[in-house]
Amino acid sequence: MTVTTDDLERTDAEVRVPPAIDAPRAKLVYLCLDLLGAQTVDDLQRVTNVPKLSLYSILRLLEREDVVRTDGDEYRIADA
């Protein structure tokens, strides 16, 4: 899967990462979810090139921080 700017749902130039997210990979995953919308772990792995095992840990952390929620097998920003 190749992501292009045509795939982006948001068009605003500034995206804010919650201050509770300080790890670089967690920020990357958060930004991908914020810009691309709901994604499966497979989707996130293809887009970010972060190993799946790491993604599961990151997503658990983001869920504990209440910034990401699951919807079936997809993850999305909690307020989206």
**For residue 2, pLDDT beyond 90:** no
Q: Does a structural domain hold residue 13? A: no
Q: Does a structural domain hold residue 8? A: no
> CB count, 10 Å around CB of 80?
12
Q: Does a structural domain hold residue 10? A: no
Q: Is 45 helix (H, G, I), strand (E, B) or coil?
A: helix
Identify the DSSP state of 51.
-
Alpha carbon distance 32, 36 (integer Å):
6
pLDDT bracket for residue 8 (50, 70, 90): low
Domain that holds residue 33: 21-77
Name the domain count of the chain: 1
Q: Does a structural domain hold residue 51? A: yes
Q: Does a structural domain hold residue 5? A: no
Q: Does a structural domain hold residue 56? A: yes
Q: What CATH number has the domain bearing residue 29? A: 1.10.10.10
Q: Does a structural domain hold residue 71? A: yes
pLDDT by residue (tens digit) across 36-45? Answer: 999 999 999 9
pLDDT by residue (tens digit) across 48-71? Answer: 999 999 999 999 999 999 999 999
